[in-house]
């Protein structure tokens, strides 16, 4: 097994090769294993071993990528020097760092940096090309979509401001506090406009309820406008492809 073959496997250049697919799935599994401690409340002994194993895999992966850096940039030896400063290399390095939690479990949240590795997973499933299609649609309609977004955010700000000032601080029916801060009001306004409607905060005054009703009706327009814009543009792309 020479260096060229390793480079091919790591870089997903020979997709028909079963080793390439196996390596991809193995890395996905390792990422999931490395995130295990984040999915449980307590800290179990076994996590020490999973952390050990996954970090080891990440280090080997990092070294393999570094060791074949020249093959990916036309055999220029200088690539070894620049590789550690490339975007993906920094992400890979960040996914190794959380291993310090082996020393002190308090650094648990460091592991979130490993989520960045999931961008590699997207490439693996061939999704990045579709994401690029979505991005190009969003880019072509950026003016319209950003206008809808700004209007929606402004609407959220205004309704939050109104609700925060007309609603009592204590819900008269349950005795529970309603909005504790302006951020709570913003949270409520967003949850209403997007028609999620948890119900953990509800307007109790008639003015507040009237604003809610307007918000929920306006929310339909907020759903309808981007849907329409994206549909129209996608249809356009579909037709261009055909011609």
In the window 2-61, what residues touch its own copies (CB under 8 A)?
35, 38-41
Cα 139 from chain centre:
19
Output 78 or 213, the one with its CB closest to its own copies: 213
At residue 232's C-alpha, the angle toward residues 228 and 233, to 5°, is: 120
Determine the size of the site formed for its own copies (CB under 8 A): 79
Q: How many C-alpha atoms does 145 have within 13 Å on its Cβ side?
A: 17
Q: Smallest distance from the beta carbon of 139 to its own copies, in angstroms?
A: 14
> Which position among 44, 49, 112, 139 is part of the footprint of its own copies (CB under 8 A)?
112
Which residue is it, tokens 């061939």? 126
Q: Which stretch binds its own copies (CB under 8 A): 7-15, 19-27, 58-66, 186-194?
A: 186-194
Name residues whose C-beta falls within 8 Å of residue 116's C-beta, 6 or more positions apart in sequence.
91, 94, 95
Query: Pattern of binders to its own copies over 81-110, x per CB under 8 A?
Result: ---------------------------xx-
Asked if 167 contacts 189 with a C-beta cutoff of 8 angstroms, the reply is no
Shortest distance in whole angstroms from residue 219 CB to its own copies: 6
Rounded distance between C-alpha atoms, residue 26 and residue 58, angstroms: 11
- Point out which span in 21-29, 57-65, 73-81, 231-239 binds its own copies (CB under 8 A): 231-239
Which span (73-81, 84-92, 97-105, 139-147) binds its own copies, by CB under 8 A? 139-147
Give the range of 22-30, 45-53, 98-106, 141-149 binding its own copies by CB under 8 A. Answer: 141-149
Length of the chain: 243
Write out the binding residues for its own copies, residues 187-226 only, by CB under 8 A. 187, 190-192, 194-200, 202, 206, 209-210, 212-213, 216-217, 219-226
CA 125 to chain centre: 16
Q: For residue 17, which of 30, 4, 32 has the smallest C-alpha distance?
A: 4
Of residues 33, 89, 97, 144, which one binds its own copies by CB under 8 A?
144
Is the alpha carbon torsion for 113, 114, 119, 122 positive or negative?
negative
């Amino acid at each position: 097994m020479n260096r060229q073959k390793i480079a091919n496997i790591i870089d997903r250049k020979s997709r028909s090769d079963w080793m390439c697919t196996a390596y991809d799935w193995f890395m996905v599994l390792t990422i999931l294993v490395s995130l295990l401690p984040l999915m449980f409340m307590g800290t179990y002994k076994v996590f020490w071993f999973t952390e050990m194993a996954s970090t080891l895999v990440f280090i080997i992966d990092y070294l393999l990528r570094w060791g074949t850096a020249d093959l990916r940039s036309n055999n220029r030896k200088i690539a070894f020097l620049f590789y550690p400063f490339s975007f993906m290399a920094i992400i890979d390095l960040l996914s190794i760092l959380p291993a310090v939690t082996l020393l002190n479990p308090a650094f648990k949240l460091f592991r979130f940096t490993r989520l960045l590795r999931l961008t590699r997973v997207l490439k693996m499933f061939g999704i990045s090309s579709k994401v690029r299609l979505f991005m190009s649609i969003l880019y072509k309609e950026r003016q319209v979509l950003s206008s809808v977004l700004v209007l929606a955010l402004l609407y959220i700000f205004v309704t939050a401001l109104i609700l925060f000032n007309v609603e009592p601080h204590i819900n008269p029916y349950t005795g529970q506090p309603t909005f504790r801060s302006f951020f709570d009001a913003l949270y409520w306004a967003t949850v209403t406009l997007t028609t999620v409607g948890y119900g953990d905060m509800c307007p109790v005054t008639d003015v507040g309820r009237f604003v809610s009703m307007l918000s929920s009706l306006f929310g339909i327009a907020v759903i309808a406008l981007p849907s329409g814009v994206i549909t129209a543009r996608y249809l356009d792309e579909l037709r261009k492809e055909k011609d």
